[in-house]
Amino acid sequence: MSVVTPAPALSVLMASDLQRYMESQVPLHNGGDKMESAIKKSKLEQLIFKNFPKVLKEESLASLGDRKEYVGSSDVGGCLRKAYLDKVEETEYDMATLIRFERGHLSEGIVRKMLKGLKVVEQTEVKGSVQGFQLKSHIDFMLENKDECVVIEAKSVSSSIDEPYESWILQVQYQLHLLKINRKKPVRAYIIAIDVNQGWFKTFEVEYSDILAQVALKRAVQLIIALKEGKEPEAQEQLYCSTCTRKATCPLLNAGVTEIRGDVLQLAKELAELHKQRKVLEDTFEAKAREMEDFMRGASIFKVRPNDSFISLTSDFEYSSIDTKALKAARPRLYAKLLEKFQRNVKTKGHINIK
């Protein structure tokens, strides 16, 4: 029988006790100007790191099949080079990326509840073929009657958006085309974008477009030819470039790179590492700031002082502005006249950008 010894009360812990405890948990290595820490993984964490990727891989094979054997909708919507390499090589994702991937499944679960009560079919598989290579798509949700089929695609986002991304449109057009040739009836779609952190969602209706469907099919053919010839397609910039597992060898990102050595290389490494840490801290800050804002609004509190800092809740405000993009499209001559008379030139200084 194991005995769990309760931790001593914080009030009776001495500074030396805390120091010994911290050293037992986080070994410290003095590296000159930089102090590094390596946190030991508990047995549970070791199990999670081993089990989680395995479970996700098994679930993917069970629900989507071997994605190396067909061209899917996500392949045509994203970077063809990444899609190619993911099919010819094994892909290893870190734990953070795998957890981010799961947000998509969380969004699907939310949409499932949104559609409860409707006659929804989930994970409808539609197929086709080009040059002897299989085309396949798994539709998140589908409503079907004798007159039409309606696809409902769930998408996870990290902030609100006004328009669906181009990659989403190509994915959905690919799905609609395969569905159309399988069902022989009119098709259309909705995309439901969800930010699970902020509780935001928005729907976008997508009509079938033969032109866009052909663009998606053309990209599928490009990928198929590349796979048959064993030649990488050109890389294309995507929103996920900074987290792509293929970015180290990406010709697009490596274009214009200057080799550096010595102190400059060390500085660049430290800058890149700090950028990663800042991103984590910014995400944590935003989450806690939203939580604090919700509390202060609910309690009608406008200012607090946790230590030597002050946290204030500013008042809501509204303002009106001119949609210059819409003005240019609707009244191009008026837009040109106004621009000529009232334009101002803005000079922006170049800055460091890290991907």
- Decide if 39 is inside a domain: no
pLDDT at 255: 83
- Judge contact between 75 and 224, C-beta under 8 A: no
- DSSP classification of residue 281: H
Look up residue 242 and give its amino acid: S
Percentage above 70 pLDDT, the chain: 88
pLDDT at 355: 67
Q: State the residue for tokens 């050595």.
A: 261
* Structure tokens belonging to residue 7: 């931790």
- Decide if 257 is inside a domain: no
- DSSP classification of residue 6: P
Q: Rounded to an integer, what distance in angstroms lies between the CA atom of residue 7 and that of residue 13?
A: 10
- Decide if 84 is inside a domain: yes
Paired with 149 in beta bridges are 144, 187
- Decide if 71 is inside a domain: yes
- Decide if 224 is inside a domain: yes
Tens of pLDDT, residue by residue over 63-122, are: 777 777 889 888 998 899 998 898 888 878 888 888 887 888 889 999 999 999 999 999
Q: Rounded to an integer, what distance in angstroms lies between the CA atom of residue 223 and that of residue 230?
A: 10
Q: Rounded mean pLDDT of the chain?
A: 82
pLDDT at 39: 58
- Decide if 263 is inside a domain: no
pLDDT at 321: 83
Q: Where are the beta strands (DSSP E) in 145-295?
A: 149-156, 187-195, 200-207
- Decide if 184 is inside a domain: yes
Q: Rounded to an integer, what distance in angstroms lies between the CA atom of residue 43 and that of residue 58?
A: 23
| Residue 140 CB coordination number (10 Å) | 21
Look up residue 257 and give its amino acid: V
Number of domains in the chain: 1
In a structure prediction context, what are the per-residue pLDDT tens digits for the chain, which is 355 residues long?
Answer: 434 444 444 334 444 554 554 445 444 333 434 333 445 788 888 888 888 888 888 887 777 777 778 898 889 988 999 988 988 888 788 888 888 878 888 899 999 999 999 999 999 889 888 888 889 999 999 999 999 999 999 999 888 889 999 999 999 999 999 999 888 899 999 999 999 888 899 999 999 999 999 999 999 999 999 989 999 988 888 888 877 888 888 888 888 878 888 888 888 888 888 888 888 888 888 888 888 888 888 888 888 888 888 888 888 888 888 888 888 888 888 888 888 888 877 777 777 677 6
Q: Rounded to an integer, what distance in angstroms lies between the CA atom of residue 250 and that of residue 16?
A: 50
CATH number at residue 187: 3.90.320.10
pLDDT at 285: 87
Q: Rounded to an integer, what distance in angstroms lies between the CA atom of residue 46 and that of residue 42?
A: 6
Cα distances (Å, whole numbers) of residue 242 to 75, 107, 275, 289, 321: 18, 23, 11, 25, 33
* Structure tokens belonging to residue 250: 């990406």
**Residue range(s) defining the domain that contains residue 100:** 64-244
- Decide if 47 is inside a domain: no
Tens of pLDDT, residue by residue over 145-170, are: 999 999 999 999 888 889 999 999 99
* Contacting residues for 56 by C-beta, under 8 A, at least 6 apart: 98, 101, 102
